[in-house]
Structures are given as structure tokens and as C-alpha cells.
Structure 1
Amino acid sequence: MSIRIAPTRAARALNLLRTIQAHPPQCPCHSNPAEHAHNHIHPHGMKNHVRRLATPIDTSQQKEYAFEMAASSIRFGRGVTQEVGMDVKNMGGTRVMVVTDKTVSKLDAMKQVQEALGREGVEFRVYDGVRVEPKDSSVKDAIEFAKPYNPDMFVAVGGGSVIDTAKLMNLYTSFPEADFLDFVNAPLGKGLPITHKLKPLIAIPTTAGTGSETTGTAIFDLVSKRAKTGIAHRNLKPTLGIVDPINTRTMPSQVHSSSGLDVLCHSLESWTAIPYTERVPRPDNPIKRPAYQGANPISDIFSLQALKSTVKYLPRAVKDPDDHEAQEQMLLAATLAGVGFGNAGVHLCHGMSYPISGQNPGYKHAGYEVDSPIIPHGVSVAVTAPAVFRFTGPSNPERHLAAAECFGVDTSRVKAESAGEVLSEALSEFLVKLGDQPRGLKPLGFQKSHINDLVEGTIPQARVLMLAPSLDIRNLDVEREQLTQLFEEALEY
């Protein structure tokens, strides 16, 4: 017979401490104790990893463990533009800068805005010098116009170019001493975070494409680098997006088409971006968490619905200028895609589009009332799309096949290794049937001899390339070779 002696309280406590020391507690925020050797109070009230307090943390190779959802407030409905004066008054605006371009300044949307502000007795000044597809010089001109007026609020009326320019006017009047490159995305700029909220901005889109009314992103040409870049931060997003389907009825067919292609690629790219849990580095402070975070469960919902709506309604909106249902659904799709990609991000189509626009050999797209050559943003992203999604297919066959199903493809017997090819073919067929679209880079005036410059203009787009599946951004030689092949395949489809 053996007698078991119960351990004393002191012995039990000692055993517990030894167990904790050998096997530190884990929780969803701290699943790998080796990654969290810093001194902090654990959510369960226990101070961990005491022996490693002096060890510095290297977060540069740690994968992300969280995503953050941010979007502007959105009001959607026919005729809601007339409410903007009351919104300005409700937000306390007394000196308002209304931002638009020469074309939109003559449309009913601007008339509605001015009348609404006038009814409420709000002081305002109009800046109508926005350039379609802004350059850094046009953005700086707009900023210099706004600074002396010192508005306490902005209202943007127009397409993505107008809304993006208004965001930047807001930013640099709120940080008047900042150098222009301080906030521009690295490595072309310093990529500094925007450390406090800006003045209220109401965005009223007149095109159905960019989704800029929902996002904290503003894009422009940095002429000296011959590439598009921009600024991205949550504090840049509009306070309110007034999304009025009546305002898009004045869009020419070609603008409906090219704007819709932007929605198409926003949704496809955010749906197929790397998962947020694969993004490196994990920020050491939440303020540094980028706006573009990788695919996540919330963005997925918005992106996939936007894709389905675009495939269904864009051909109708392009074909029939009186199909108001299709136009309204495309405007809604643009906003949905804006929420999706504004948090998940875009990748290769957009990364490659920036030098395509910035290095335009002289192409001028029909339907745009501008004097200089122009490759509309939606066109510049769509010309590479068939090549891009053929390339990214192996990274996540299930998602690429789900996207192909949105185009009406029966994928029940498609093998996983064919996912990229199937989506590429479906996308090519959709673009061809849409009509009046350049089928690749050659119709834009690009030749094989331009590819090296296009590749070099793409490589600095680290903000979006880091989200590109299948692209090896850790090895510059391999990345350059992959991009070269993609541009070669995109010359024609």
C-alpha cells in the first residue's frame, strides 16, 4: 500500500511557475511566443517572457495578424446631391472649397451643388482647374490655389481625378509646411503617415469607376519619374460620399466603358490579392498599418459582389445611354469595389498601369475632352489583365475559378492548374465583346522596345506589388524577368 502526500500550496505554486516558464501562455494575439519577447502586460493579466526583456524586436519579417476596415460614410440615392448644403452646415463648414474640372463645372451636378450651398448661406469658392489624370504639377497648382483661401471644408464634384485632387488639397492645406514628397508612397517619396484627421471632405462622384469617394488613396503622375504614384492613408478618405445615380447620366459611352474597366480590375485584384496574413512586415504601430492590407473576409464580400455586378451591367451601360438601371448598378458596383480594394488593395494590373499611363507614346482615347494624349486609367489597367490573371492563377486556383464563374464559365470540370488560363480567356472574351477597347499595349502605341522602360516604371510601385501573388519581390532579377514576360504577353490579346 502506498500513501500519496498532497503537495503544499508553495509546491503547487512552484510547479505552476516552472510550467509557465517552460510553456508561456498563448492567445490569438500572441500565437508565437518567440515573436513576442518584449515587455508587455498580457491580455490575461500575466507579464510574459521576463528572461528576454532586453532582446530587441525585429518586426521586419513578421507576418501580419490583423486587418483593419475603414471606409467613408456613403449616402446612395437618386437626387441626394441636393442635400449637400445641409451636410456642410451640419458639419460646421463656413468656408468651403468646391473642387471640379472644366467639363463637370458646366454640368447639372455642379449647378445642384452651388444651389444647395447657396440655400444654406454657405460661403464657397470654386476651383475648376483639375486635370483629368492629374500630374504632380496640376496637383501643386490646386494646392496653391487653396492655401490662401484657407477653407475649413472641401466638396469634390467629379470623377476620380477631381476627388483625388481634392484629397491632396485637403492634405497639404492641413500640413502647409510639409514638403510635397513627405507623404508620397515610398520609395518615390518618404511615405510618412498622416498623423491627424484632415478637414471634412464630401465627395460627389460623376463617374462610375474609381470608387475614390470611399478610399484613402489619391493617384497622380510623378512626371520626373515617368510613373504614376500617390498617397494612401486612412485619414485621406472623404468624410462622406454622396453617390447620386443621376450624376452619371451625362457620361459618354467611352467613359462608361473605361470607368467600368477600373471597377472590373479593382474587384478582381482585391479578390485575388495575397491574404492579409501573408503580408510582411507587421507594423510596429497601428498608425503604420497600410490602407492596402491584402485580401480579407470583409473586403471579399464587397469585391466579389462588385465583380458580379460589373460583368452583368457594364455591357448594358456601355451599349445603351438610356439604360438608367445599368448605370445605377455600375455606380453602386464602383462604390462596393472601392470599399473592397480600399482595404484589401490592388496589385499587378494597377502596378503595371502606372508606367503605361506615365509613358504614353501619344495615344488619345476617344470620348475624353482633353487636348493632350490620354490613356484613361481603366484602359491602362485592363490591357494587362488577361496576362496578369493567367500568371497569378497558380497562387490560388479556387479564387481564380470563382472569378471565372462570375463571367458565366462552368468550372465544374476545370483542373486547378488551368484556373489562370480559364479566367484569362473569360476576361479576354468579355473585353472583346465590350467593344471599342484596345486589345493590348500595341494599339496604345507601345512596342517591344518600350518594355524595359515599362518594367523599370513598375518596380517602384512597392505599395501594390507587395500584394501581388506569384510575383517574387524579394529577388529583383526574378521580379524584373517576371514583369518583362507579363508586358510581352500584354502587347496583344
Structure 2
Amino acid sequence: FDGFIGVGGGSIMDTAKVANLCSTCPADFLTYVNAPIGKATLVPGPLKPLICIPTTAGTGSETTGVAIFDIVKMHAKTGIASRAIRPVEGIIDPENTRTLPPIIAACTGFDVLVHALESYTALPYNRRLAPENPRLRPTYQGSNPISDIWAVKAIEIVSSNIMRVIENPADDASRSQMIMAATFAGIGFGNAGVHLAHGMSYPVSGMVRGFKPAGYPLDYPIIPHGMAVILCAPSVFRFTAAANPARHLEAAQLMGIEIANSRIEDAGEILAGLLVSLMQKTGMPNGLEAVGYTASDVDKLVEGTLPQHRVNSLSPRLFTVDDLKKLFLNSLRYW
């Protein structure tokens, strides 16, 4: 092949990235997969041109050097992160999202929102340990002045438009705004990274048993990525707000509320409350219980979160195994 084109949602675009990598630089599949699941070997050279055309307003994969996938036999969700797999071009056309079912518009919209919120609240770049070798510089740098520009705008756009595209898929203006926000957030988190909500979401999706979302056009169990992320996000932001309450309160303001009379110590609760309210309005499940998990699953969910070093290391607040257990328990039910 002279190059690759990925047309679809995040899974399709990420598949195109991995196909490009594996065909251009052949190796055992786990060679390039993120540690500790894989070897995290550096990509040895440039790949073939890849053009990505998103058909959902969600992942922002057309902008990033990250590919996420399930390793089914391990019940693990992981990925490959390298600047080498980033597409050379993304074609962003809202016409490609016109027929999205409302449930997919909601799930992918929440993915955009949490991408932006996490990159805005991630560990700052100047607090991240520098690698010994510049070639080992991670794809994700932590929140920084450049990523903030993209995250801020994405939070504002999604908060103003997500309900409109769910309630009226024919609203061309709002669909245009949402797919633009997905790209903005992709540029932001592709630079800064995401943190605990995404780290926790991977085992939530990877360990799915029987849950099938109403209205989702698939005949097998699935917890869509954006759904898994938002089911964890309120508990995460309640927890991480202590590390930088001002920034979490600013994020709530970007979502559209007045914060002049808000107490800084309530930042996490305020931001979490906004997310829970939006979950209710969009018909998201009421926590992890609603998608089939119970307190007895928490240890396994924690076990699946711990290997996600690429994103967990960007949590603005240090956490322990016990903290993760509490976060999952707090995510079982929200209202």
C-alpha cells in the first residue's frame, strides 16, 4: 500500500493506525503496545501517509498519535502511543455525522467533554518528571498553555451543543459545532493527555458481560467508550479537585454556570454535579450498577486500571489502590 485511509469512528481510525504500523514496521503485536501489557518499543521510523475521516463527533482520533483497542483474551483495554502513528491529515465534515443514533451522539459527545476536562485538569507539564532521553518523551505532556486553549473551547462548545444534537439530529449548526469540538479536544488531549476517568474506563469497557445499550445498533454486549468514561468521571473530579480546586471550578464555569458565589472547596462537587445532571438529561445509565457491575467487581476493576500508566500518571492527585476502590464504589450509583 502507498498509504491508508480510516473512515469511521475512533475504533476504525485506530485500526487504520495500527494497520499502518504493523505493515510498515512488522513485529510481534505486543512489541509496540503500552507497558506493562506490551513492550512499548519505540517505532523505528516513519510510517506511510494516513488520512482519517471521522464519522462520529467523539474520539478526536484524527488528530492523535494514540490507538486504543481491546485485547480480548486478557479482558484488557490498552493501546499504542507514538507520534509516528498520528494521521498526516484529518477531514472533518459534519455531514458524516448526520445519521448518528442519539445514543451514539450522547456517548461520543461525553467522550469529547471528558477529553477536554481531563486535559484541562491533568497534572501540569512542569510537574511531570523529564525522561532521561528526549526520544523517551511521552506523547502526553500534562496540562500546558497550548493544550488549555483547545480544551477551554471544546468544553464550552460541547456544553452548549450536546443536548441539541441528541434531541434534533437535523440541527446542522450544532452537529458542526460538535465535530469541531471533537477535533479541538483531540488536539488538546493529544498534547496534554487524559487521566483517571479514562484509566478507570478501560476495564469498565473491557470487562463487559451482558450490557447492551438501548438504541445501540449492535447485537453483542458493549459498554461504549464514552459511556464508560462518563460513568467514572463525576467520582474522579470530586477526587482530583483537591489538587487544583480553582481549575476544577473554572471548568464548571466553562460548562455554563456562574461561579462568583461558589466556594472554592466545593469545586469538585460542583463539577461532578454538572456532569451527573447532564448524564440524567441525556439518558446515561445511573452509574456502574446500571451496566452490570457490583461492589464485588471492584477489585477486578482496580486490577484493570493499575496498568494504565500512560494516563494514570497524569492524575493531578496521587492515588492509592484504596483510593481507586473508593472511586469505583462511588461510581456504582449517582442518583
Please say whether Structure 1 and Structure 2 have the same fold, judged by a TM-score greater than 0.5.
Answer: yes
Q: Which residue of structure 2 lines up, in the alignment, with residue 329 of structure 1?
A: 177
Output the CA distance in 1 between the equivalents of 2:262 and 2:161. Answer: 26
Q: Which residue of structure 2 lines up, in the alignment, with residue 194 of structure 1?
A: 43
Q: Which residue of structure 1 lines up, in the alignment, with residue 262 of structure 2?
A: 414
Partner SS for 1:243: coil
Output the CA distance in 2 between the equivalents of 1:208 and 1:326. Answer: 11
Partner SS for 1:209: coil
After TM superposition, the structure 1 = structure 2 runs for residues 381-400 of structure 1, keeping only pairs within 5 Å, are 381-400=229-248
What amino acid does structure 2 have at the position aligned with 1:226?
H
**Of 304, 327, 332, the match for 1:457:** 304
Output the CA distance in 2 between the equivalents of 1:256 and 1:457. Answer: 27
Q: Which residue of structure 2 lines up, in the alignment, with residue 352 of structure 1?
A: 200
Q: Which residue of structure 1 lines up, in the alignment, with residue 332 of structure 2?
A: 491
1:401 matches 2:242: no
What amino acid does structure 1 have at the position aligned with 2:167?
K
Which has the higher relative contact order, 1 or 2, with Cα contacts under 8 A spaced 6 or more apart? 2
Partner SS for 2:62: coil
Q: Shift in Å at residue 424 of structure 1?
A: 1.0
Output the CA distance in 1 between the equivalents of 2:280 and 2:218. Answer: 26
Q: Which residue of structure 2 lines up, in the alignment, with residue 238 of structure 1?
A: 87
1:310 matches 2:151: no
Q: Shift in Å at residue 196 of structure 1?
A: 1.2
Partner SS for 1:442: helix
Output the CA distance in 1 between the equivalents of 2:73 and 2:303. Answer: 13
After TM superposition, the structure 1 = structure 2 runs for residues 85-484 of structure 1, keeping only pairs within 5 Å, are 151-176=1-26, 178-280=27-129, 282-434=130-282, 436-472=283-319, 479-484=320-325
- Paired residues in the alignment total 334
Output the CA distance in 1 between the equivalents of 2:242 and 2:114. Answer: 18
Partner SS for 1:410: coil
Q: Shift in Å at residue 254 of structure 1?
A: 1.1
What amino acid does structure 1 have at the position aligned with 2:91?
I
Output the CA distance in 1 between the equivalents of 2:50 and 2:22. Answer: 13
TM-score (norm 1): 0.67
Superposed CA deviations along residues 33-61 of structure 1, whole A, max 9, x for unmatched, are xxxxxxxxxxxxxxxxxxxxxxxxxxxxx
CA contact (8 A) 1:158 1:206 kept: yes
Q: Shift in Å at residue 227 of structure 1?
A: 1.8
CA contact (8 A) 1:471 1:482 kept: no
Output the CA distance in 2 between the equivalents of 1:300 and 1:325. Answer: 24
Partner SS for 1:369: coil
TM-score (norm 2): 0.98
What amino acid does structure 2 have at the position aligned with 1:276?
Y
Q: Shift in Å at residue 279 of structure 1?
A: 1.1
CA contact (8 A) 2:124 2:316 kept: no
Q: Shift in Å at residue 161 of structure 1?
A: 0.6
Runs of 4+ deviating beyond 4 Å:
none
Q: Shift in Å at residue 152 of structure 1?
A: 1.5
Q: Shift in Å at residue 342 of structure 1?
A: 0.4
Partner SS for 2:63: coil
What amino acid does structure 1 have at the position aligned with 2:133?
N
Q: Shift in Å at residue 194 of structure 1?
A: 1.3
Identity of aligned residues (%): 53
Partner SS for 2:7: strand
